[in-house]
Structure 1
Amino acid sequence: METLHPWHLDFSKPPEPALELRSAPVVSLVLPCFNEQEVLPETTRRLVVLLDRLKAEGRAAPGSAIYYVDDGSSDCTWRLIGEYAAAFPTVCGIKLSRNRGHQNALLCGLLTAPGEVLVSLDADLQDDLDAIPRMLDDYRAGSEIVYAVRRCRAVDSFFKRCSAEGYYRLLALLGVQVQFNHADFRLMSRRAVETLRDYEETHLFLRGLVPQLGYRTSVVEFDRASRFAGESKYPLRKMLALAWEGVTSFTASPLRLITGAGVLVSLGSLLLTAWALGIRLFTHEAVPGWASGVIPMYLLGGVQLLSLGIIGEYLAKVYESTKKRPRFHVEVVCGNSFRKDTP
C-alpha cells in the first residue's frame, strides 16, 4: 500500500465541510394583494394544496401558513381573506390602514409574518408554484436567499419584454446589483429578513435591496404564466415609477452623467463657435446672430432643465428620508398565527 507523505497532500484549498441538510422549516408564503377578489379564490385553493403537499413531502414543517397583505383594496379582497382565514387554519391576513404600494405591502408581510423561511410571490398566479419546492430544497442545502428567475418572457408583449430586459441591463451598466429577470418571487431565510429589517429605506426597491444583504444565494428558473384573472396592478406608469426608484435609490450615476453632459456641452459649444467663425470668415452665408443665439440657447436650456430635474429628484429623496415617516401601518390581522391562544 502506498504511503502518503505530507508533500503528497494538497493544501492549496481548505477541506470542504460535509454538507448537512437543514431540517424542514416553518414556511410563510407572503402575498401582497390589491383588488384581487377575482383571483383570490383560486389562489387560496392552490396554495392550501401546495402547503399540504410540502408538509407531506417533509419540505415544510407544521405551522407553515399563507399570509395575505391587503394593501388598502377597495373591493371585497379583505372580506374574502377573512373568510378564508376562518375556513382554513393555514390562511392569515394582514390589513394595511391605507394603500402604501406593492413594495411597502410586501415589506410589511416579510417583517410581520413569522416562520423560519418566507417566500414572497404575487397573488395573480403568474409565479410558478412548482418552483417553491425547489427553492426550499436550495434553502435546506444552505442558501439563505433563493431567487426565482424567469426562464423566458413568452407571455409578455414585445414592448414589455424588450423594455424590461433593457432596464435590467441598464441597472447593471449603472452599477446596481440586481438579479437579471427577477422580480419579487424569492425565498428569504429568517436571518436574511432580520437583516433586511435594519435597512430603513424610505423609497423601497426590494429587487436592488435584497442583493445588498449578502449571504449565500442561489437561483431557480421558472416559466411565468399568464394572469389567471383580473387586471395587472402595474400599468406602464407604475412600472416607470418603479424603474426610476431602482435607478435613483441605488446609484448616483445620473448625477455623474450631468457632469459628463456638462463637459460634452462645453466641447460642443467650442466646436459650434469654431464652425460659426469659419462660416463668418470664409463664406458669405452667415446669418447674423443665429448661430450665436439660437443653438446655444436651446441646447443649454434643455441640459439645464434636465440636470435640475435629476438633482431635484435626489434632493426630494433626502427630504423625505429625513422625515422618517412609517412606511406602513397595520390596521388589523386575522388567522391562527396571530391568535394569542395559538402556541
Structure 2
Amino acid sequence: MTHSGGRKSISYVFPIFNESGNIRRLYDVISETTAGLDYDIELVFVNDGSKDNSLELLRDLQMTDRRILVIDFARNYGHQVAVTAGIDAATGDAVIIMDSDLQDPPEVSLELISRWEEGFDVVYAQRRTRKDTPFKRFTAWAFYVMLRRIASIEIPANTGDFRLLDRVVVDEIKKFREHDRFIRGMVSYVGFNQAAVQFDRDERLNGKSGYPLGKMLKLAADGVFGFSTFPLTLISRIGMITALLSVVGIAYAVLMKVFSPNTVVEGWTFIVTSILFVGGLQLIMLGILGGYIGRIYTEVQNRPLYGVRAVYGATDRRATPAISEAETE
C-alpha cells in the first residue's frame, strides 16, 4: 500500500528453489536497478524447499536489508505455489513477479513500472527472443499455438510469469485458490487493462532449470485443463468418428458375409485390429476424463495451498492464503 509521505510501493516476488549460485547476484542487480526509483521497494523471496544453502543466503541478506521478506516453505510445493505465496505476502501498490535465475532481465522491470504509471493494471513481459535449446523453443511455441486454439480465454504467447500486477489485480488473483495453478492464465482471466513489453530473454546465470520436461508437461496440463473444456469436447467428437468407422466396419462385415462367405474366416485380423483400435481410444478418453476428475478430487479436499515453516522479515508477518467467503461457508 502507499506508504507515509505519499510514495507508492512496489513489491518484487522471487520464487527460490536451489538458487544458491544466483541469489547474491540477483540481489545486487535488483538493488542497483531500483536504486534510482522514487518508490518504497519490498523484496519477497519464497524458499520453495531448497536442498542447498539458499535459505542461509537469504537470511544473511535479510539481516542486512529491512526491505527483504523471506518465506520458508515447509517443503517443496512448486513454482506456481511459491509465486502465489509471494503474491499473498506482498504489500506493494504493484507486484512484480520475476524468476530468480536472471533470465528475466531486472532492467525490464523499469519498463513494466513505466507502463503501469501510464494507467495499465497488468504489464506482462513478452519474449522477443530467448536463449534456450531448440527443443524448449519448439515445445513452448507448440504449447502456445495449442493454447490459443483451445483455451476459453486469450493468453498472450511467449509470456511467462514475469509481469507487473496492480494492487487491484493482486486482490482479485488472491481469490483464486485452486491447487493446479496456472497464474498467467488467471491473470488473463481476471481482465483489466493489460499491455505488453517486449524483451530478449537471457541465458540462465547458474544452476539447473526449475522446469525440467516433467514439470513443463505438468504446467502445460494445468494450463489446458484449467482454462479449456476442449479435451472433453474432443472425446465426444472422436467418439462420433469412431462410431461412424464402426458402422463402416459392420457394413463391410455384412457385405462380405453375403457376397463372399468363403473369405469371412479371414477377417480375424480385421476384428483384432478393430478391438485394439477402439480399446486404445477408450483408454485415451478415460485418461482425459481422469485428468479432470483428479483435479475435482484435489479441489474437494480443500487443503491449504502451502505450509510455511518460518517467515523472516523486519516485521512479524506470516504469509497466509486469502480465503474467500465461499471457502468459509
Do the two structures share a fold, i.e. TM-score over 0.5? yes
> Do the aligned residues in 2 keep the contact of 1:81 with 1:92 (CA within 8 Å)?
no
Instruction: Give, in whole Å, the separation in 1 of the partners of 2:79 and 2:195.
Output: 24
For each residue in 1:116-141, what CA deviation from the matched residue of structure 2 results, as whole angstroms up to 9, or x when unmatched?
11000000000021211111011111
Instruction: Give, in whole Å, the separation in 1 of the partners of 2:53 and 2:275.
Output: 55
1:241-320 map, 5 Å: 241-277=218-254, 281=259, 287-291=265-269, 293-320=271-298
For each residue in 1:84-104, what CA deviation from the matched residue of structure 2 results, as whole angstroms up to 9, or x when unmatched?
011223332111111111000
| Counterpart residue type for residue 323 of structure 1 | Q
1:125-274 map, 5 Å: 125-153=102-130, 155-177=131-153, 178-274=155-251
> Do the aligned residues in 2 keep the contact of 1:72 with 1:98 (CA within 8 Å)?
yes
**Secondary structure at the counterpart of residue 129 of structure 2:** coil
Within the candidate set 31, 37, 40, 1:48 is matched to 31
1:87-106 map, 5 Å: 87-106=64-83
> More displaced, 287-296 or 143-152?
287-296
| CA radius of gyration, larger in | 1
1:322 aligns with 2:300: yes
Instruction: Give, in whole Å, the separation in 1 of the partners of 2:76 and 2:9.
Output: 29
Question: Against the structure 1 CA distance between its residues 299 and 339, is the aligned structure 2 distance closer, same or farther, given a 3 Å change threshold?
Answer: closer
| Counterpart residue type for residue 142 of structure 2 | G
1:33 aligns with 2:13: no
| Counterpart residue type for residue 147 of structure 2 | L
1:104-115 map, 5 Å: 104-115=81-92
- Segments of structure 2 that go 5 or more residues without pairing to the other structure are 1-5, 319-329
> More displaced, 308-317 or 83-92?
83-92
The alpha-carbon deviation at position 277 of structure 1 amounts to: 4.6
> Do the aligned residues in 2 keep the contact of 1:176 with 1:208 (CA within 8 Å)?
no
The alpha-carbon deviation at position 313 of structure 1 amounts to: 1.4
Instruction: Give, in whole Å, the separation in 2 of the partners of 1:337 and 1:124.
Output: 27
TM-score, length-normalised on structure 2? 0.89
**Secondary structure at the counterpart of residue 201 of structure 2:** coil
> Do the aligned residues in 1 keep the contact of 2:70 with 2:312 (CA within 8 Å)?
yes
Question: Against the structure 1 CA distance between its residues 112 and 332, is the aligned structure 2 distance closer, same or farther, given a 3 Å change threshold?
Answer: same
**Secondary structure at the counterpart of residue 105 of structure 2:** coil
The alpha-carbon deviation at position 218 of structure 1 amounts to: 0.6
> More displaced, 70-79 or 81-90?
81-90
> Do the aligned residues in 2 keep the contact of 1:33 with 1:70 (CA within 8 Å)?
yes
**Secondary structure at the counterpart of residue 124 of structure 2:** strand
> Do the aligned residues in 2 keep the contact of 1:85 with 1:91 (CA within 8 Å)?
yes
Superposed structure 1 runs of 4+ greater than 6 Å apart: none
TM-score, length-normalised on structure 1? 0.86
Instruction: Give, in whole Å, the separation in 2 of the partners of 1:193 and 1:293.
Output: 58
Instruction: Give, in whole Å, the separation in 2 of the partners of 1:110 and 1:246.
Output: 19
For each residue in 1:124-179, what CA deviation from the matched residue of structure 2 results, as whole angstroms up to 9, or x when unmatched?
000021211111011111111111010123x1222211111111110111134311
Question: Against the structure 1 CA distance between its residues 219 and 315, is the aligned structure 2 distance closer, same or farther, given a 3 Å change threshold?
Answer: same
**Secondary structure at the counterpart of residue 246 of structure 1:** helix
The alpha-carbon deviation at position 275 of structure 1 amounts to: 3.8
Instruction: Give, in whole Å, the separation in 2 of the partners of 1:202 and 1:335.
Output: 27
Question: Against the structure 1 CA distance between its residues 339 and 300, is the aligned structure 2 distance closer, same or farther, given a 3 Å change threshold?
Answer: closer
**Secondary structure at the counterpart of residue 46 of structure 1:** helix
Instruction: Give, in whole Å, the separation in 1 of the partners of 2:222 and 2:125.
Output: 22
Paired-residue identity, % = 32
The alpha-carbon deviation at position 335 of structure 1 amounts to: 2.7
Alignment-derived partner of residue 19 in structure 1 = none
**Secondary structure at the counterpart of residue 31 of structure 1:** strand
